[in-house]
């Protein structure tokens, strides 16, 4: 008898709870109800909610997920490896002539392909597809093909600012004695 009374009270309590929750959710405007994802302030500026940022270095820019910081290392072969998200790796090569003379001939050329704002040569080597782009005395080798590469853009390097007319080009040979004073009108700065 005690069990049936307890069960009845529990059942009535459960029914009241279900009805109360139903009334609560019907009274809410479902279109205004938000589930917070990342931003719990609800008053964030839309520009703050942008999910990417522009990474610019080594003469190129690329859009990366907000909060992701690429890592870099100089490889034993010479290029700088820039590790991006989703397994993407960009090799920044400062001696492309050497690369084109000794490495590229062993690769299999597939086609030219536009990635972002530049045209890359697509190669295959040991079942690995990669993308090669040369601009002047540097080149880039992109491995894999994640979506992040679609925003790759060659931007070049900052120019010297200041009084460019005061720049003097000269060379001193090894062991040569030098004397005299050198004056300069202002300190030149390089923009990084």
pLDDT tops 90 at residue 109: yes
Whether pTM exceeds 0.85: no
Encoded tokens for 139: 């080149």
Distance CA 55, CA 72 (A): 13
Range of the domain at 137: 51-154
Residue whose token pair is 């005690």 = 2
pLDDT tops 50 at residue 147: yes
Is residue 84 domain-resident?
yes
Q: How many domains does the chain have?
A: 1
Phi-psi region of 51 (alpha: psi -120 to 50; beta: other; left: phi over 0): alpha
Strand residue runs (E) in 75-127: 80-83, 89-93, 108-115, 118-125
Residue whose token pair is 């009845």 = 8
Instruction: State how beta strands 71-74 and 80-83 pair.
Output: antiparallel
Encoded tokens for 69: 């910081």
Distance CA 109, CA 170 (A): 43
Is residue 116 domain-resident?
yes
Distance CA 46, CA 22 (A): 33
Is residue 168 domain-resident?
no
Is residue 2 domain-resident?
no
Is residue 43 domain-resident?
no
At 80, which CATH number? 3.40.1000
Q: What SS3 class is residue 98?
A: helix
Confidence of residue 36 (pLDDT cuts 50, 70, 90): very low
Is residue 3 domain-resident?
no
Distance CA 114, CA 16 (A): 64
pLDDT tens digits, residue range 55-100?
899 999 999 888 888 999 988 878 999 998 878 899 999 989 988 9
Is residue 93 domain-resident?
yes
pLDDT at 50: 66
pLDDT tops 90 at residue 2: no
Is residue 104 domain-resident?
yes
What is the C-alpha end-to-end distance of the chain, expressed in Å? 84
CB neighbours (10 Å) of residue 81?
17
pLDDT tops 60 at residue 144: yes
For residue 110, the Cα-to-chain-centroid distance in whole angstroms is 26
> Across 14-28, 101-115, 177-191, which has the greatest mean pLDDT?
101-115
């Amino acid at each position: 008898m005690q069990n049936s009374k307890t069960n009845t009270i529990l059942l009535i309590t459960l029914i009241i709870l279900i009805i109360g929750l139903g009334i609560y959710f019907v009274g809410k405007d479902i279109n205004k109800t938000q589930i917070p994802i990342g931003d719990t302030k609800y008053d964030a500026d839309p520009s703050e909610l942008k999910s990417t940022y522009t990474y610019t270095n080594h003469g190129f820019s690329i859009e990366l997920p907000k909060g992701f910081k690429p890592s870099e290392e100089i490889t034993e072969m010479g290029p700088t490896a820039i590790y991006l998200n989703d397994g993407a790796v960009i090799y920044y090569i400062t001696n492309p002539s050497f690369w084109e003379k000794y490495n590229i001939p062993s690769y299999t050329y597939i086609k030219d392909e536009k990635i972002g704002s530049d045209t890359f040569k697509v190669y295959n080597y040991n079942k690995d597809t990669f993308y090669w782009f040369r601009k002047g005395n540097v080149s880039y080798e992109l491995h894999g093909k994640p979506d992040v590469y679609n925003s790759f853009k060659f931007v070049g390097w900052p120019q010297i600012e200041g009084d460019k007319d005061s720049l003097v080009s000269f060379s001193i040979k090894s062991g040569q004695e030098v004397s005299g004073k050198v004056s300069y009108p202002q300190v030149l700065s390089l923009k990084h």
